[in-house]
Amino acid sequence: MGDRWYSEAVVYCLDIDTYADSDGDGVGDIPGLIGRLDYLARLGVTCLWLHPIHPSPNRDDGYDATDFYNVDPRFGTLGDFAELLHQAGNRGIRVIIDLVVNHTSDEHPWFQSARSSPDSPYRDWYVWSEHEPSDRQQGMVFPGEQKETWSYDRTAKAWYYHRFYRFQPDLNMANPAVRAEVKKIMSFWLQLGVSGFRMDAVPFIIELTEPGNPNSPKDLDFLTELRQHVQWRRGDAILLAEANVEPDQLPVYFGDGGGSANRVHMLFDFMLNGRLMLALARQDPEPVIEALRDTPLLPTGAQWATFLRNHDEIDLSRLTAEQRNQVYARFGPDEHMRLYNRGIRRRLAPMLGNDRRWIELAYALQFSLRGTPVLRYGEEIGMGEDLSLPGRQAIRTPMQWSFKENAGFSTAEPDKLVRPVIDKGEYGYGKVNVTAQRRDPRSLLAWFERMIRTLREAPEIGSGSTSHIDVPTPPGVLAHRADGVTGTMVFLHNLGTDDVEVDLSLLQPEADQPIDVLTDRGYAEVGKLERLQLAGHGYRWIRLRRGH
Ligand code: GLC
């Protein structure tokens, strides 16, 4: 293990309310999650990312908090949360939580006070305008569900700014009191023992909003301040930021350009995500090669977080219209599978037609690319989506644990569940569940366990440097390598469906007893790397050599 734990972590994200319900009220809770930690440890997870845990009216699945210093009573108590941190730690699992401080719920006492009077001590904690801002109908994040970014509040007799839904008023980060409060919130959770934060909506947190200016200035130094604060309070805590911006704007989120990584430790690689989807749709690795080539170089210590699926729609907005249409045609052919004119609200298994070879290929590829892999709950067993649910809820259905009623998620009456379980068809819990897959050494779950164990033995992927191996390969094949102090790994992934042969003999001089460590099937030995067989949708992870 290298010096920095996050570089070699396997992150698993989940919503407490849909994971495991211990008391039969239909809502997942912290004791339920504690009961599943052994499952996560066996899977090989080293870091849990919990979606918002705070009290919330839940109009945006918890991304609308009413109290940053507590846990949602439906999930349990702060005591339960402290116990979770202890139990996870016992198993070598760290916990990071969503930090959603760009905005609060409009039911938050701060906003209730702020709107009540211009003299409220909290008035200036939010962003107001006396007059209707000219950019009122610009910058919406949820087109189709959101009509404006400034709404008139009759109680306040003023317009307030909300980058997201109208029930999520933005906090005013230009106000030093708000900045101090954000730091206090972070300190509180660090003190309890979290290992850091997934920071929600960072480009908007640092926005110094000016009414009428849709391109308000950004204060990136606030990130430097937060980094310093976090690192002083807990040396090994991290910031993992959501900043879905153009790639050339990303480096300043990692550091101030002086060469040091003095802002966030990790950023989700949204660009790679879109390119991965395009590559899978076209069965052509070129978009991934471009992504490897085009992504900015990171300062030392900075790291990408890779993902195929997260809790939101797959955001294809950074692809061209033509590329987006190719992905839609393949993975989201029906209008109701799409969202916000930019994305797809499906899980991976159904997008890939539940083709086991293709699913393995996709995840083997993600986990072998530079960065720290993030896996969404349920993907490890190939769960599906429920498109009859509105918006992003389609991919937020309860975890499917067993053949028991409600998929073993809860003992409540089905109509009391936080969200219906998928109980019909190819992805119903009768077919897709943990219990069945745990018993079957050939299951997708068993494959994930094996793949993650293999990753543990290949720290070059997380801590080393990754590059495309620029040799002629059959169409569909991506060859890349990861180099680090521990040695060199070489990867072949066939996005196409034809069986092929790949010649990597130019690597022979560097090789020292090269050997397959993860493959989709048994292949002839690596030998001199000149006639490497690769099945359609096949993959080979080869250790080329060990370091010292
Ligand atoms: C982020 C979250 C999303 C949420 C939004 C508003 O984009 O990923 O789920 O709705 O922020 O907080």
Task: Give the pLDDT of residue 259.
Answer: 62
Q: Is the CB of 520 under 6 A from ligand 1?
A: no
For the record, the structure tokens of 401 come out as: 């644990």
Run of H or E residues at 84: helix 78-90
CA of 242 to the centre of ligand 1 (A): 9
Atom of ligand 1 nearest to the CA of 244: 7
DSSP conformation letters of 415-433: GGSSS----SGGGSTTTS-
For the record, the structure tokens of 122 come out as: 């909290």
**pLDDT, tens digit, 9 for 90 and up, residues 242-264:** 999 998 899 999 998 766 789 99
Long-range contacts at 28-31 (CB < 8 A, ≥ 24 apart):
28/75, 28/398, 28/399, 28/409, 28/410, 28/418, 29/74, 29/75, 29/76, 29/80, 30/71, 30/75, 30/76, 30/80, 30/81, 30/83, 30/84, 31/76, 31/80
Choose the catalytic residue: 242, 312, 360, 483.
Answer: 242
Is there a contact between 497 and 537 (Cβ–Cβ < 8 Å)? yes
Of 150, 168, 163, 154, the closest CA to residue 115 belongs to: 154
H-helix segments, 193-333:
202-205, 221-233, 251-254, 270-282, 286-294, 321-331
The per-residue b/e assignment along 398-433, b for 16 or more CB within 10 angstroms, e otherwise, is bbbbeeeebbbbbebeeeebbbebbbeeebebebbb
CA 500 to centroid of chain Cα atoms: 33
Q: What CA–CA distance (Å, rounded) separates 546 from 146? A: 53
Task: Give the pLDDT of residue 307.
Answer: 98
Q: Is 248 a catalytic residue?
A: no
Is there a contact between 220 and 253 (Cβ–Cβ < 8 Å)? yes
What are the angstrom distances between the C-alpha of 228 and each of 183, 237, 257?
10, 11, 16
CA of 342 to the centre of ligand 1 (A): 15
For residue 352, the tally of other CB atoms under 10 A from its CB is 22
Residue count (the chain): 548
Task: Give the pLDDT of residue 299.
Answer: 87
Residue with tokens 């599978």: 337
Mutate to test the pocket of ligand 1, among 63, 199, 244, 317 (most ligand atoms within 8 A of CB): 63
Check residue 136 and report its DSSP letter.
T
Q: Report which protein residue has its CA nearest ligand 1's atom 8.
A: 312
Task: Give the pLDDT of residue 258.
Answer: 66
Is there a contact between 41 and 92 (Cβ–Cβ < 8 Å)? yes
Q: Is 21 a catalytic residue?
A: no
CA of 338 to the centre of ligand 1 (A): 17
Q: Is the CB of 312 under 6 A from ligand 1?
A: yes
CA of 529 to the centre of ligand 1 (A): 46
Is there a contact between 265 and 256 (Cβ–Cβ < 8 Å)? no
Q: In terms of C-beta density within 10 A (0-12 exposed, 13-18 middle, 19 or more buried), how is residue 297 classed?
A: exposed
Q: What CA–CA distance (Å, rounded) separates 144 from 339? A: 9
The residues that bridge with 207 in the sheet, in sequence order, are: 218
Angle at which helices 270-282 and 356-368 cross, to 10°: 150
**pLDDT, tens digit, 9 for 90 and up, residues 20-47:** 999 999 999 999 999 999 999 999 999 9
Check residue 398 and report its DSSP letter.
P
Compute the C-alpha angle 322/324/328, nearest 5°.
115
Of 133, 298, 157, the closest CA to residue 214 belongs to: 133
SS3 367: helix
For the record, the structure tokens of 377 come out as: 């709950």
Q: Is the CB of 63 under 6 A from ligand 1?
A: yes
Q: Is the CB of 8 under 6 A from ligand 1?
A: no
For residue 69, the tally of other CB atoms under 10 A from its CB is 12
Q: Is the CB of 178 under 6 A from ligand 1?
A: no
Atom of ligand 1 nearest to the CA of 164: 6
- Which residues in the chain show pLDDT less than 50? none
Q: In degrees to the nearest 10, what's the CA dihedral of 24, 25, 28, 32?
A: -30
Is there a contact between 8 and 459 (Cβ–Cβ < 8 Å)? yes
DSSP conformation letters of 445-472: HHHHHHHHHHHHT-THHHHSEEEE--S-
- Whether the pTM exceeds 0.75: the reply is yes
CA of 1 to the centre of ligand 1 (A): 32
Q: Is the CB of 379 under 6 A from ligand 1?
A: no
Q: Report which protein residue has its CA nearest ligand 1's atom 12.
A: 63
Choose the catalytic residue: 200, 315, 379, 386.
Answer: 200
